Amino acid sequence: MEEKVETEYPKFPLLGKKAPSFEAQTTHGKIKFPDDYKGKWIVLFSHPADFTPVCTTEFVAFQKRYEEFKKLNAELIGLSIDQVFSHIKWKEWIKEKLGVEIQFPIIADDLGKVACLYGMIHPNKGTNTVRSVFIIDPEGIVRAILYYPQETGRNIDEILRLLKALQTSDEKGVALPANWPNNELIGDHAIVPPASDEKTAKERLEKAKSGEIECYDWWFCHKKL
């Protein structure tokens, strides 16, 4: 009888759960995460390695949009399993050669402890961290997780869009459609949460008749924010 081989998969945080805590050295000094960022949104992202072309384009793209993230009360934090000396030298190279100063901190996870906590290393994709993104809210709750392979750079505008969508959903109590705010069916409208009983379903259609909201049917209603 063939022996069953147990496959180990990396563990990672789950949506709606507290972000794992850690202390680490960064290019801005030591941090206690996520405690040092309480009250702010956090975009924690890993990259495979310093001094690599795709990662360099990503860091420049993140920095170009850094002010937009800050306007949304969000902080960027990069990470790879390189040492802090490598991070510093790479930042210097980007500033000297490309004219862009990376202003957000980069975690030096040279022992891979944070990468293991966050499932950033995928064995079938090598020993470096893949391109992961964790959006964490001001209460330290993981709200979104994205993974990209090493060979494909991220769309930073999509990460911004996702952050805006999460904040809008929290503030307005709505859901956001595909490609929001440029959805093919409802444009920049938000989706009204589905009715949970028959009474509410009928009320939805009445509201649609009065123009308060718009509906394709009782289960698919939307409104202008």
Q: What is the pLDDT of residues 13-41, one digit of tens each?
A: 999 999 999 999 999 999 999 999 999 99
Tokens of residue 55, six digits: 């990662």
Same fold, 22-154 and 173-225: no
Q: Which of 79, 7, 13, 12 is nearest to 45 (CA)?
A: 79
Superfamily of domain 173-225 in the CATH hierarchy: Antioxidant, Horf6; Chain A, domain2 (3.30.1020.10)
Long-range contacts of 24-30 (CB under 8 A, 24+ apart): 24/107, 24/108, 24/109, 24/113, 24/114, 25/84, 25/107, 25/108, 26/77, 26/84, 26/105, 26/106, 26/107, 26/108, 27/84, 27/87, 27/88, 27/91, 27/105, 27/106, 27/108, 28/105
8 pLDDT tier (thresholds 50, 70, 90): low
Residues annotated catalytic, as ranges: 55
Lowest mean pLDDT among 108-112, 172-176, 186-190: 108-112
Q: What spatial distance separates the first Cα and last Cα of the chain, rounded to whole Å?
A: 62
Report in angstroms the alpha-carbon separations of 56 from 91, 130, 214: 9, 14, 45
Domain positions in the chain are 22-154, 173-225
Mean pLDDT score, 176-185: 97
**What CATH number was assigned to the domain covering residues 22-154?**
3.40.30.10
Q: Which of 199, 209, 202, 205 is nearest to 221 (CA)?
A: 205
